[in-house]
């Protein structure tokens, strides 16, 4: 059983190999912040289908290469999600990611807000849209200069990068995701 994504190879691969599994490097987290921001108001599959092009134009989501980029020309690229505010947010969030390095970095900040101890959800109605932890992280990210980072978007970020365990109880991907999550939270 899969939590979501059945029937679409892109969605299935995302569910099986990525979602809910630790992705905690600066570049991975910066990408997730951007992708979750792009998702606002759209279906997640739309973002997944545009991700190859987004990775191309945002240099693999390397914040050093994206900071200072002029997003205006990207509005004409039909391969992308052509939202001026969302494209500008990627640039702003790259700058904020770089600025956070002086305070320990984006990975350290996000990792502080990992959630443990909650039972595995039985169904999607058991999964919250946001939590106290995602609300705190959203506020800290906003203070650090990030945009498009409300509590719900940040909760989706925590789910996507494996810092909450929201694969449903009967999901085939859950055991491996939980094992990798536990190892990541234990550290080296």
User: Hey, which residues are catalytic here?
Assistant: 14, 36, 44
Say if residue 142 is exposed, middle or buried (CB neighbours under 10 Å; 0-12, 13-18, 19+). middle
Do 71 and 84 contact (CB within 8 A), yes or no? yes
Calpha distance 97→107 (Å, rounded): 10
Measure Cα distances from 17 to 8, 9, 35, 40, 48 in Å. 14, 12, 17, 23, 13
Contact 160, 51 (CB under 8 A): no
Residue 134 near residue 58 (C-beta atoms within 8 A):
no
C-alpha to C-alpha distance for 2 and 188, rounded to whole angstroms: 30
Rounded to whole angstroms, what are the CA distances from 128 to 61, 71, 74, 133, 154?
28, 33, 34, 12, 12
SS3 40: coil
């Amino acid at each position: 059983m899969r939590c979501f994504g059945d029937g679409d190879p892109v969605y299935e691969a995302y569910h099986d190999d990525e979602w809910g599994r630790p992705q905690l490097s600066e570049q991975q987290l910066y990408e997730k912040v951007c992708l979750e921001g792009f998702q606002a108001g759209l279906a997640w599959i739309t973002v997944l289908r545009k991700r190859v092009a987004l990775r191309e134009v945002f240099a693999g989501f390397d914040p050093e290469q994206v900071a200072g980029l002029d997003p205006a020309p990207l509005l004409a690229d039909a391969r992308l999600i052509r939202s001026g505010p969302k494209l500008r947010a990627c640039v702003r969030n790259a700058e904020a990611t770089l600025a956070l390095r002086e305070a320990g970095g984006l990975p350290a900040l996000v990792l502080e807000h990992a959630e443990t101890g909650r039972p595995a959800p039985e169904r999607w109605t058991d999964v919250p849209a946001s939590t106290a932890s995602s609300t705190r992280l959203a506020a800290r990210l906003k203070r650090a200069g990030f945009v498009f980072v409300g509590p719900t978007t940040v909760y989706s970020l925590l789910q996507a990068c494996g810092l909450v365990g929201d694969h449903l109880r009967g999901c085939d991907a859950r055991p491996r995701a939980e094992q990798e999550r536990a190892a990541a939270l234990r550290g080296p």
